[in-house]
């Protein structure tokens, strides 16, 4: 009997030791953020980081994310991609090996496309908040049901059509011109979609001029545009470049309408451009002055945390985190494949930037808005449905 008791005691002690040696179950979910904190568009990275931190804080302050009956806190791992393609890919690789469940970003298409290659090869779900170039979600497996890359933004063929239709219907253009960065996937893609839509409508683009990232002198191209008799100018370029282009266009004598794309959507553009951008229009993702209750709550929280109104990048990043959290909960477990499958199965998500519907690809079907720069503010002008 004494030997039996001794055996039971040893077995109990051994069980306790083995239990103590087992790794503790994870209590956090690691989420990566791959953003442009330095480089030519640092305001984009700042907005994205702010919104991501806000979304994570809200979940954690509420007790964590409920996944299969267990509460998990969210840990955000932030990597600066320096607004460089090679750095974006390196940041994606670093996050993939750091054990993140998914990655948010990059934002600019020129960074999102190379990062998406890494995400696909690592079987790591990726959501780009702001990338609109179709190539971002096209890398990897030809089977759409196996792709790991998603986005929260509409794509450039839709945006290009919206901009062209607006130029025809509202600006009444008959001699449109375009100036774009030929070295950037985003600028080049949307410029070509814009031109194609105009030509399909029977309107010839009288000048289709290019430049390279980092250029500061656009006088030669703008002189050609002016000499061609253009009555409208499409600038699908970044907020940091547009002010100089507008100022030089005016100096060249251009007095027609100027139209931009969602890359204009940071109020820094108005600070840099001043009155010279007054009255111009651009396509984008949401408008603060017609915000839904969900968007109003986000705007209030963002302004309270950072003292400024969130731009479209912030809103799209917040929606990207919302999509991810919903997908993790639907998956019911912390598994990349399960989260990817749950995300692909989302048929409707009501976000800050409107309703998103995924129809078999990582590209959401959603509306666009057109804003006008008026009295130094971005003001809602009209909407465009898919």
- What tokens appear for 210 in the block? 């290019």
Residue 11: how many other CB atoms lie within 10 Å: 10
pLDDT of residue 139: 83
pLDDT category at 2 given cuts 50, 70, 90 is very low
Give residue 146's pLDDT: 80
Query: Region 110-127: what's the mean pLDDT?
Result: 97
pLDDT given at position 386: 81
pLDDT band (50, 70, 90) for residue 358: confident
| Mean pLDDT on 217-221 | 98
Last residue of a domain, one of 284, 316, 342: 284
Residues 6+ apart with CB under 8 A from 135: 109, 113, 185, 189
> What pLDDT, on the 0 to 100 scale, is given for residue 385?
87
Same structural domain for residues 272 and 342? no
150, 298: one domain? yes
Q: What is the mean pLDDT of residues 222-249?
A: 98
Please report, for the domain that includes residue 188, its CATH number: 3.40.50.2300
Asked if residue 12 has pLDDT above 80, the reply is no
Q: Are residues 149 and 32 in the same domain?
A: yes
Is residue 190 domain-shared with residue 295, that is, in the same domain?
Answer: no
Q: Is the pLDDT of residue 96 over 60?
A: yes
pLDDT given at position 6: 54
- Please report whether residue 12 resides in a domain: no
DSSP 328-367: HHHHTSS-HHHHHHHHHT---EEETTEEEEESSSSSEE--
pLDDT in tens, 169-218: 999 999 999 999 999 999 999 999 999 999 999 999 999 999 999 999 99
Cβ atoms within 10 A of the Cβ of 300, count? Answer: 11
Count of the separate structural domains present in the chain? 2
Using the predicted structure, report yes or no on whether residue 17 has a pLDDT greater than 50. no
Residue 386 lies in a domain: no
Task: Indicate whether 15 pLDDT > 60.
Answer: no
Distance CA 300, CA 90 (A): 35
Residue range of the domain that includes 234: 156-284
pLDDT in tens, 257-291: 999 999 999 999 999 999 999 999 999 999 999 99
Across the range 319-326, mean pLDDT stands at 98
Percentage above 90 pLDDT, the chain: 88
Cα(219)–Cα(216) distance, integer angstroms = 9
Is there a single domain that holds both residue 46 and residue 146?
Answer: yes
* Residues 233, 230: Cα–Cα separation, whole Å: 7
Name the average pLDDT for the chain: 92
Claim to verify: residue 163 and residue 311 sit in the same structural domain: no
Has this prediction a pTM greater than 0.85? yes
Please report how the helices 336-344 and 312-331 are oriented relative to each other, as an axis angle in degrees rounded to 10: 110
């Amino acid at each position: 009997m004494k030997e039996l008791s001794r055996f039971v005691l040893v077995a109990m002690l051994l069980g306790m030791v083995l239990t103590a040696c087992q790794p503790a179950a994870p209590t956090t979910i690691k989420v990566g953020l791959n953003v442009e904190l330095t480089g030519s568009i640092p305001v984009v990275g700042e907005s994205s980081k702010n919104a991501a931190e806000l979304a994570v804080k809200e979940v954690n302050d509420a007790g964590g994310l409920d996944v299969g009956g267990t509460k998990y806190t969210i840990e955000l791992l932030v990597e600066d991609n320096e607004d460089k393609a090679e750095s974006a890919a390196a940041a994606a690789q670093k996050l993939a090996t750091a054990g993140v469940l998914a990655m948010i970003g990059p934002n600019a298409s020129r960074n999102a496309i190379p990062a998406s290659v890494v995400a696909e090869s690592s079987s790591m779900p990726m959501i780009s908040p702001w990338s609109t170039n179709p190539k971002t979600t096209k890398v990897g497996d030809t089977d759409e049901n196996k792709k790991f890359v998603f986005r929260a933004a509409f794509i450039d063929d839709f945006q290009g059509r919206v901009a062209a239709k607006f130029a025809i219907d509202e600006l009444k253009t008959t001699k449109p011109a375009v100036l774009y960065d030929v070295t950037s996937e985003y600028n080049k893609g949307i410029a070509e979609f814009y031109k194609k839509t105009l030509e399909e409508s029977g309107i010839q683009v009288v000048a289709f001029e290019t430049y390279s990232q980092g250029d500061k002198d656009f006088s030669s191209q703008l002189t050609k545009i002016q000499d061609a008799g253009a009555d409208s100018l499409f600038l699908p370029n970044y907020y940091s470049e547009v002010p100089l282009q507008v100022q030089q266009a005016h100096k060249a004598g251009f007095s027609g309408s100027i139209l931009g794309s969602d890359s204009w959507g940071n109020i820094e553009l108005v600070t840099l451009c001043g009155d010279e951008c007054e009255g111009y229009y651009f396509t984008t993702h949401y408008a603060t002055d017609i915000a839904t209750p969900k968007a109003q709550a986000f705007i209030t929280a963002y302004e309270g945390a950072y003292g400024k109104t969130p731009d479209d990048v912030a809103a799209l990043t917040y929606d990207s985190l919302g999509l991810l959290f919903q997908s993790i909960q639907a998956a019911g477990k912390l598994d990349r494949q399960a989260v990817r499958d749950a995300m692909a199965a989302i048929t409707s998500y009501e976000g800050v930037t409107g309703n998103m519907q995924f129809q078999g690809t990582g590209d959401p079907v959603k509306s666009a808005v057109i804003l006008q720069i008026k009295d130094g503010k971005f003001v809602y002008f009209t909407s465009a449905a898919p």
